[in-house]
Structure 1
Amino acid sequence: MENFDCVVIGGGMVGAASALSLAQLGLKVAVVEKFPAKAFSASQALDLRVSAISLASQHLLTQLGCWPQIRQWRCCPYKRLGVWESDTSYVEFNAQEINEENLGHIIENRIIQLSLWQQISNHVGITLYCPESLQHIEQHEDYSLINLSTSQLKAKLIIGADGANSFVRAQAGIGITGWDYNQSAMLINVETALTQQDITWQQFLTSGPVAFLPLPGESDLGGYASLVWYDSKEKINQLSAMSNKQLQQAVIAHFPKRLGSINVIDKAAFPLTRRHANTYQNHRIILVGDAAHTINPLAGQGVNLGFKDVKALQTTIADAIASGKSWHDPIVLKGYEKLRRADNLLMMSTMDALYATFSHPSILVKTARNTAFMALNKLPFLNNTVKSKALAYACGL
């Protein structure tokens, strides 16, 4: 049996970032992950799973030493964000409004994970157990036993970063509240006639929004992009059954003309759900990322909230160490949830409000939301205050 300060269950983006951030404090950390990350090659096709990484997340990845590698591999910065329902209510947010070079980067999830794993492999304070899986957790007064499929670990703190269906959360006896939305989402990677753009946009339709995320690289047609199509579960199931050629025609008919000509490369679909853990902590077990909260992906804030969790946990433990407290004391660890729960709940509720507002069929509601969009563009006071504050919040600043 090997002893650790922290054992992180889950080696995805948030779990790997958690391990690195705590190892930076001088703690001895283990990471347990079922599946090894596939090595990167520039010739590989773009993955379907991408994230819009905020400026705050970029700062964390820079602190963890990952950002230069991500930039060297591939990512796509964007400076503008366009949102509209009708053409008369178009609103555009620009990085210049918050005095930044860009608003964020669109990056494949696997690229982020691989860059973190590269740092983990070079860190003497981190041991990676992969492929390996959690079987059972035994919590004791001052430590926990982590039973894996082939070994047993002892730790002062366990971090559950094992996703929305977290086994750590179940082992800790932490319940969840939430619901399934009446929609699903389809991810579609396409070649575009337009070359790489500096804008990501989203149009709200009665059936659900459609979104465009620019991707890096040059294709035979022009550039690449990730499209997100939100619609009823039945409609998404129909789209999933189509050939790429049939889906291409459906996209052209459904998406705005500004998309231009496309070729469909790949596709996948998933249901939309909201889950929020009733607590982020049970004794010496902490939940981060999707294990603690899953959010409607309308604004692409899921992984950014997870990275905020990572930073808050590092801050909580660092402050305890600096003040001479027992950093793994359950009372100290409660400070992490105090830092994160309200912010996560605010973002989740905001996304739910947007979802409810734009899915409401009433003509009065539609008129009100379009009037609000037009006001943002035409009233200087609103433009300079509401837009810039909303933008800074979305960027994590």
Structure 2
Amino acid sequence: MQNREVIVVGGGMVGALTALLLAQLGNKVKLIEKSPCIRPMENDGFDLRVSAFSAQSKNILVAAGIWDNLPKSRLCAYQRLQTWEKSSEKLCFDSQAVGLEALGYIAENRLIQSALWDKLKQLDNVCLYEKRQVKKIVNGYAEVSLLLDDEQSLRADLLIACDGGNSAVRQLLQIGITAWDYRQQCLLITIKTDIAQQNITWQEFRESGPCAFLPLANNNACLVWYHKPQKIKQLQSLSNEQLKLAILQEFPALSFDFSVQDKGGFPLTRRHAQRYYQGRCVLLGDAAHTINPLAGQGVNLGFKDVQCLVDLLQHCADLPINNILQRYQSMRKPANLVMQTAMDLFYKSSKSELPLLRILRKGVLSAAQHSGGLKNKVMKYAMGL
């Protein structure tokens, strides 16, 4: 694959990582991104868009050479994870039990994206097309070419679409999707607490939807509140002081005082592309699949897509592009579907009010907590280890 020309559409975390890894292997990369990359300043408030990066995702970022460049003042490691249903036994995970310094790391999406862009700008074999969009794609036998909205024409051996859940590339290629709306929304709330940084993330399941706590760097945190769209709309209309009162009255109990900093609601939609490639074009990350954020696996699945495709392009360079993309699809599509289905089943069952199912759920959580080594194996699988 070395010295081939690659176009990456979408410069978010998945797209920027793809572009960087391929460029570091010697390929000529053209990265197209419609929105400017915004670097968080040290004194900025925390952005609502944060992700929980697994140990495997951290290893990929280490290999890309950007992990040590991330400001520690905006990066939070967590060693413990707890999940439970009201009145049930807690299912607890600890990094020491799996021999790791942390189960994962929580950081703002823009922090990772900006670090990747900084690295890309240092490479001579990378050309950045900022504030540009794809207008037309010609998916030929020997190459792929596209037309940008400023009438620039580009060509390459391969086009990689990392342009999100509403992927313009996927639509231009007329690749169908299977999708549905969860009929719920998620409210993200950044808060500042009166205690030092915590090392635990937790999630409580309720009939109205899950509630979760994500620690952020220093004495910051993020609350995640699932509910019906009408309820989320009502919560968003509140002032920060009024929202704090609603949290104290309706959210799981918090063991500290806090002030609300920012809030934002997001719809929950599941999408899965019916195929991951067409000709010399391939879909990665949210362009290929979106998942319920219940277990924080969205970005981690995207990074697994990246690692799989880059490894195939590097180690199967003697194969035709079509064969490589077929292998990528056969490896990643079933794996992503399994994770999507598991999260859907877990999510739907957690909201059921049927007494028998509630008893079963509590029994499953209790059995999992006392399953010994099996619990740790499941955790390692979720972390990609």
The TM-score bracket by the shorter chain reads over 0.9
Amino acid across the alignment from 1:260 = F
Once the two structures are TM-superposed, the CA of residue 258 in structure 1 deviates from its matched residue by 3.4
Structure 1 partner of 2:270: 274
Amino acid across the alignment from 2:18 = S
Of 319, 324, 345, 1:325 maps to: 319
Structure 1 partner of 2:95: 95
Q: Deviations over 1:13-58 (max 9, x none)?
A: 0000110111122111100011221233211111110000001100
* 5+ long unaligned stretches in structure 2: none
Cα 1:259/1:212, change in 2 over 3 Å: farther
Distance 2:49 2:25 in 1: 31
Distance 2:119 2:255 in 1: 38
Of 265, 273, 297, 2:261 maps to: 265
Secondary structure of the residue that 1:89 maps to in structure 2?
coil
Distance 1:286 1:110 in 2: 24
Distance 2:4 2:34 in 1: 19
Structure 2 partner of 1:158: 159
Structure 2 partner of 1:288: 284
Distance 1:66 1:45 in 2: 22
Amino acid across the alignment from 2:223 = L
Question: What value does the CA root-mean-square deviation take over the aligned residues?
Answer: 1.4
Structure 2 partner of 1:185: 186
Is contact 2:39–2:111 with CA below 8 Å preserved after alignment? no
Q: Deviations over 1:279-312 (max 9, x none)?
A: 0000100000100000000001101100000000
Q: Deviations over 1:134-161 (max 9, x none)?
A: 1111111101111012311111111111
Structure 2 partner of 1:226: 222
1:115 aligns with 2:115: yes
Is contact 1:274–1:296 with CA below 8 Å preserved after alignment? yes
Structure 1 partner of 2:169: 168
Distance 1:86 1:73 in 2: 34
Distance 1:73 1:139 in 2: 45
Greater mean alpha carbon deviation, residues 32-41 or residues 297-306: 32-41
1:350 aligns with 2:307: no
Distance 2:51 2:316 in 1: 32
TM-score by length of structure 1 reads: 0.94
Distance 1:135 1:266 in 2: 35
Once the two structures are TM-superposed, the CA of residue 325 in structure 1 deviates from its matched residue by 3.0
Is contact 1:276–1:294 with CA below 8 Å preserved after alignment? yes
Distance 1:51 1:342 in 2: 23
* 5+ long unaligned stretches in structure 1: 218-222
Structure 1 partner of 2:373: 384
1:127-138 maps to which residues of 2 (within 5 A)? Answer: 127-138=127-138
Is contact 2:39–2:110 with CA below 8 Å preserved after alignment? no
Distance 2:4 2:235 in 1: 48
Report sequence identity in percent: 43
1:255 aligns with 2:251: yes
Distance 2:17 2:114 in 1: 11
1:359 aligns with 2:360: no
Secondary structure of the residue that 2:105 maps to in structure 1?
strand
Once the two structures are TM-superposed, the CA of residue 87 in structure 1 deviates from its matched residue by 4.3
Structure 2 partner of 1:76: 76
Once the two structures are TM-superposed, the CA of residue 164 in structure 1 deviates from its matched residue by 0.4
TM-score by length of structure 2 reads: 0.96
Amino acid across the alignment from 2:27 = L
Distance 2:56 2:181 in 1: 29
Cα 1:302/1:214, change in 2 over 3 Å: same
Distance 1:129 1:72 in 2: 30
Structure 2 partner of 1:58: 58
Of 289, 300, 304, 2:300 maps to: 304
Distance 1:200 1:346 in 2: 24
Is contact 1:55–1:395 with CA below 8 Å preserved after alignment? yes
Distance 2:23 2:328 in 1: 17
Secondary structure of the residue that 2:260 maps to in structure 1?
strand
Is contact 1:4–1:30 with CA below 8 Å preserved after alignment? no
Is contact 1:54–1:105 with CA below 8 Å preserved after alignment? yes
Is contact 1:4–1:154 with CA below 8 Å preserved after alignment? no
Report how many residues are paired.
382
1:15 aligns with 2:7: no
Once the two structures are TM-superposed, the CA of residue 383 in structure 1 deviates from its matched residue by 2.3
